[in-house]
A and B are shown apart, each in its own frame.
Chain A
């Protein structure tokens, strides 16, 4: 079965963990034992049964009602499997949110319809980050509809506010959907709820199902690009990120611009083992094999949109295709943290890259500060 990863974004109080827990229970994806364990935990803490307790594995999380790290909940629905990734909302845990979101294919954003809650700054930040990390399909679940009598006005209000927020980057989004409901009461999660009579759309799970089923993968004749990992004995290991490998075809090792022939290869899906006699004893880390040099850019300057967790500095490192490079960035502004910046970074050597919209693996990098601590990521325009 194909497993589709869905990141669930939302404010701590919006009911994310409850939603995921409820989905797991309704789709019968979690064992009786686990539900009972969660019930026992709830009782011990003097709380009413919390579906969220099915997820959180950390004691602190349960007792404070706060998610600290990502949790992946596997759910099966009809002939498809989803993995819901619950990410922490708190600013200090942004690393964990980025990790969870970076491997997801779609996002479910939970917004509370309760008075005084709604679309928070944190949620807005996370939507923008998730999009920057590569997610272009979102379903917005307007939760706690039971708190205001399932009123249409409130739902539409949030709907409009969210849409307004998305406008600046709407062109980067392939799909936006809205579903009003209630995680605690199971409204519009698995099945359409009669309580929200004014809403004529499908339930959250039905929407997700349609999205994955209609996700057509374009299979045009793509140019061959292989990123290289390292060597072992007389072989070179790599990953085919575009196209396919052909023996007795010439490839260019970039950025070296060396023309080579692949003598032998062995594939395990996209993981490949190559024998290239011309490259014996060559350092291949961070390098790329391409069929056509026009498909990539070679330069020591990169124009990127970057996100920094802590204040960006002039000197830092980036990790790109598994290799670390020293970077220099003339950062002028003065923001302290959680900064989005567009700019040019200069590297000490040339690298191979491409715009993230053309070849995503060649268009993104991780940022580390000068002490090699994680400090964010960048997307190449």
Chain B
């Protein structure tokens, strides 16, 4: 896995976040207590004088890991976050997917509408999955959260001129150019707190976090950030092989994204 220049990655992420702040009136941040979205919170602090000046949304389906809830409450207090916990229901399945996909979208739509958010900062990375490689830094969603992946706007140089389509919103992706190993290297460098689920207990750890019903741990003895970085340098297992959802075809995932699931 290629290790990029962290200073340059950080610099660009800060630029992107500040662009978003200049262009949108009502921004919110999506947080899942995972390593990527937590890193985004810390990048936001770097960009905005040590503060997180936007509301932080946790879409809670009620069956997240206890460690995640604890991590959430403690960090929200420490960083004085304006935390919005939006409860999502566990709904009947949509196209073979249960739990995570369908119900989170509904809850997110509701929160966005209620608070009139016009932009959402989301922590996806291009290297996570083939489909996510198609995203733009500023990406439009229409009011039904549909992502017209076949007809994306152009994004030239560092011009993120945005036009919100019909009551939709724009997704901001400050981590798009980061690799998995870059995130961990940055976490180490900046001493960013980490959800304990990432560390090994009992010979197993979680490499990626969904909720209790769709995330499977992997065999590992990595007990801290250094161990994880070492492990990433030597293993080639696709990150999300621990998540049940991704054992399905990529195309289905694309459809879910087009429907609005993050």
CA distance A229 to B21 in the complex (A): 9
B18 engages A229 (CB within 8 Å): yes
| Complex interface: chain B residues within 8 A of A179 (CB) | none
B168 CB, min distance to chain A CBs, angstroms: 14
A322 partner, pick from B11, B22, B152, beta carbons under 8 A: B22
A69 engages B149 (CB within 8 Å): yes
| Complex interface: chain B residues within 8 A of A34 (CB) | 238
Q: Specify which of A59, A71, A134 lies most central, judged by the most chain B CB atoms within 10 Å of its CB.
A: A59
Contact digits for B140-155, partner A, Cβ 8 Å, 1 yes 0 no: 0000000001101111
| Complex interface: chain B residues within 8 A of A72 (CB) | 126, 133
B149 engages A133 (CB within 8 Å): no
Chain B residues within 8 Å of chain A by Cβ, number: 50
B66 CB, min distance to chain A CBs, angstroms: 31
| Complex interface: chain A residues within 8 A of B213 (CB) | none
| Complex interface: chain B residues within 8 A of A271 (CB) | 11-12, 14-15, 18, 47
B22 partner, pick from A31, A56, A68, A237, beta carbons under 8 A: A237
Q: Does A169 contact B (CB under 8 A)?
A: no
Q: Does B236 contact A (CB under 8 A)?
A: yes
Given A268-B10, A269-B7, A69 and B156 touching (CB < 8 A)?
no
Cβ < 8 Å to B, chain A residues 42-82? 55-60, 68-72, 74, 76, 81
- Segment at the B interface, from A98-106, A114-122, A246-254: A98-106
A36 CB, min distance to chain B CBs, angstroms: 11
A64 CB, min distance to chain B CBs, angstroms: 12
CA distance A70 to B152 in the complex (A): 11
Given A269-B10, A271-B15, A1 and B4 touching (CB < 8 A)?
yes
B136 (CB) vs chain A CBs: closest residue: A99
| Complex interface: chain A residues within 8 A of B150 (CB) | 60, 68-69
Given A268-B46, A322-B161, A95 and B154 touching (CB < 8 A)?
yes
The main secondary structure of chain A at its interface with chain B is mixed
| Complex interface: chain A residues within 8 A of B8 (CB) | 269
| Complex interface: chain A residues within 8 A of B49 (CB) | 232-233, 235, 273
Cβ < 8 Å to B, chain A residues 17-40? 31-34
A74 engages B237 (CB within 8 Å): no
| Complex interface: chain A residues within 8 A of B21 (CB) | 230, 232, 237
| Complex interface: chain B residues within 8 A of A99 (CB) | 136, 152, 154-156
CA distance A364 to B237 in the complex (A): 42
B134 engages A377 (CB within 8 Å): no
Q: Does B5 contact A (CB under 8 A)?
A: yes
Chain A residues within 8 Å of chain B by Cβ, number: 54
B19 engages A229 (CB within 8 Å): yes
CA distance A76 to B236 in the complex (A): 14
A20 CB, min distance to chain B CBs, angstroms: 12
B130 engages A319 (CB within 8 Å): no
B254 engages A59 (CB within 8 Å): yes
B161 CB, min distance to chain A CBs, angstroms: 4
| Complex interface: chain B residues within 8 A of A277 (CB) | none
| Complex interface: chain A residues within 8 A of B149 (CB) | 58, 69
| Complex interface: chain B residues within 8 A of A74 (CB) | 2, 127, 179
CA distance A74 to B178 in the complex (A): 12
A327 CB, min distance to chain B CBs, angstroms: 14
| Complex interface: chain A residues within 8 A of B131 (CB) | 57-58
CA distance A153 to B250 in the complex (A): 44
B161 engages A268 (CB within 8 Å): no
| Complex interface: chain A residues within 8 A of B196 (CB) | none
Q: Does A293 contact B (CB under 8 A)?
A: no
Contact digits for B43-66, partner A, Cβ 8 Å, 1 yes 0 no: 000111100010000000000000
Q: Specify which of A33, A98, A99, A233 lies most central, judged by the most chain B CB atoms within 10 Å of its CB.
A: A99
CA distance A70 to B53 in the complex (A): 33
| Complex interface: chain A residues within 8 A of B47 (CB) | 237, 271
Q: Does B244 contact A (CB under 8 A)?
A: no
| Complex interface: chain B residues within 8 A of A232 (CB) | 18, 21, 48-49, 53
A266 (CB) vs chain B CBs: closest residue: B49
CA distance A313 to B8 in the complex (A): 39
| Complex interface: chain A residues within 8 A of B236 (CB) | 31-33
B88 CB, min distance to chain A CBs, angstroms: 27
| Complex interface: chain A residues within 8 A of B74 (CB) | none
| Complex interface: chain A residues within 8 A of B157 (CB) | 102-103, 134, 361, 364
CA distance A3 to B181 in the complex (A): 14
A322 engages B126 (CB within 8 Å): no
CA distance A361 to B2 in the complex (A): 28
CA distance A56 to B254 in the complex (A): 13
Q: Specify which of A2, A58, A133, A270 lies most central, judged by the most chain B CB atoms within 10 Å of its CB.
A: A58
Q: Does B159 contact A (CB under 8 A)?
A: yes
A1 engages B156 (CB within 8 Å): no
Q: A57-B130, A74-B2 are in contact. List 16 more A-B contacts (CB 8 A).
A: A1-B2, A2-B5, A31-B238, A57-B133, A69-B134, A71-B130, A81-B2, A95-B154, A232-B21, A268-B7, A270-B11, A271-B12, A273-B49, A322-B159, A366-B159, A374-B154
Q: Which 6 A-B pairs have the closest CB atoms?
A: A230-B22, A57-B130, A269-B11, A31-B236, A319-B161, A59-B251
A-B contact list, 9 entries, CB within 8 Å: A33-B237, A59-B250, A71-B130, A74-B127, A102-B157, A229-B18, A232-B49, A322-B23, A366-B161
State the B residues within 8 Å of A (CB).
2-5, 7-8, 10-12, 14-15, 18-19, 21-23, 46-49, 53, 126-127, 129-131, 133-134, 136, 149-150, 152-157, 159-161, 163, 179, 236-238, 241, 249-251, 254
